[in-house]
């Protein structure tokens, strides 16, 4: 009897552990979306050893400088506005089809805007961007093609000025998920752009710092 009880107890514990493990791969009841490991490439940029000589500046004045309290070392990438509506810089590497991109960003100042964003599937001036804004209580996904158009939005507590935040985007085929500080906030499908490069984004008079950009992606065939 004792052996049978011990056996049933062991089986129960195994099922409980399996269930907890499965829950760990879910986000709000949804299965976590991950890139296929096969053929995946990883690029990391922390600006401590290298500058942005190999990056492509589309708009805005982007510089690497020392900032106190940087997440990794002392040097970070900073956007200083020059009157552009949207400021974009594109990282080397790619183009990628499926991507998992994360970056730390700190909105420093801005009267019209104080935002930071991840650009993905950038090609010939067209791209998607996910952005957070310290002056607004929303977190949004846009696409840009001769003008910016909103695809999805979520209501959030605005990220605080002068504090580091974490943005993440996972895009697999037409499925796009976006996170702010580890929380899944946007879950959307759109198929207009299939592949492209990854970059960083701000708007208007935002002064924003970026660090620890990590790109996991499958290069387009």
Q: Mind listing the pLDDT tens digit for each residue in 39-73?
A: 788 999 999 988 999 999 999 999 999 999 999 88
27 confidence band (pLDDT: 50, 70, 90): low
Residue 195 has pLDDT above 90, yes or no: yes
Residue 31 has pLDDT above 50, yes or no: yes
Structure-token pair, residue 114: 């104080």
pLDDT digit string, tens, across residues 126-171: 999 999 999 999 999 999 998 889 999 999 999 999 999 999 999 9
pLDDT in tens, 72-130: 889 999 998 887 789 999 999 999 999 999 999 999 999 999 999 999 999 999 999 99
Residues 6 or more apart whose CB falls under 8 angstroms from that of 63 comprise: 77, 78, 80
| CA distances from residue 92 to 9, 44, 76, 177, 200 in whole angstroms, order as listed | 54, 11, 17, 23, 12
What count of residues does the chain have? 221
Residue 11: pLDDT band by 50, 70, 90 thresholds? very low
As given in the structure block, the two tokens for residue 72 are 């990794």
Report DSSP letters for the chain, one per residue: -HHHHHHHHHHHHHHHHHHHHHHHTEETTEEPP---STT-EEEEE-SSS--STTSEEEESEEEEEE-TT-SSSSEEEEEE--S-SEEEEE-SS--EEEEEEEEEEEEEE-SS--EEEEEEEEETTEEEEEEEETTSSEEEEEEESSSEEEEEEEE-PPPPTTS-EEEEEEEETTEEEEEETTEEEEEEE--S---BEEEEEEETT-EEEEEEEEEEEEEP-
Average pLDDT score over residue span 23-28 = 49
Residue 8 confidence (pLDDT) above 60: no
- Whole-model pTM: value is 0.85
């Amino acid at each position: 009897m004792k052996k049978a009880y011990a056996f049933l107890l062991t089986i129960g514990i195994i099922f409980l552990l399996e269930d907890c493990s499965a829950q760990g791969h879910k986000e709000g009841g949804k299965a976590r979306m991950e890139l296929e490991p096969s053929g995946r490439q990883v690029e990391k940029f922390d600006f401590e050893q290298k500058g942005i000589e190999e990056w492509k500046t589309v708009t805005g004045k982007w510089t690497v400088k020392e900032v106190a309290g940087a997440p990794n070392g002392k040097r970070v990438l900073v956007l200083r506005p020059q009157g552009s509506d949207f400021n974009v810089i594109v990282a080397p590497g790619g183009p990628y089809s499926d991507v998992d991109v994360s970056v730390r960003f700190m909105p420093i100042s801005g009267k019209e805007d104080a935002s930071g964003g991840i650009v993905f599937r950038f090609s010939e001036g067209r791209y998607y961007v996910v952005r957070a804004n310290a002056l607004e209580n929303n977190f949004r996904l846009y696409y840009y093609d001769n003008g910016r158009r909103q695809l999805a939005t979520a209501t959030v507590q605005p990220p605080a000025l002068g504090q580091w935040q974490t943005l993440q985007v996972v895009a697999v085929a037409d499925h796009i998920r976006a996170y702010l500080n580890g929380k899944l906030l946007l879950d959307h499908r759109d198929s207009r752009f299939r592949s492209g490069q990854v970059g960083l984004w701000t708007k208007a008079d935002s002064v924003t710092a970026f660090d620890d950009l990590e790109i996991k992606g499958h290069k387009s065939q």
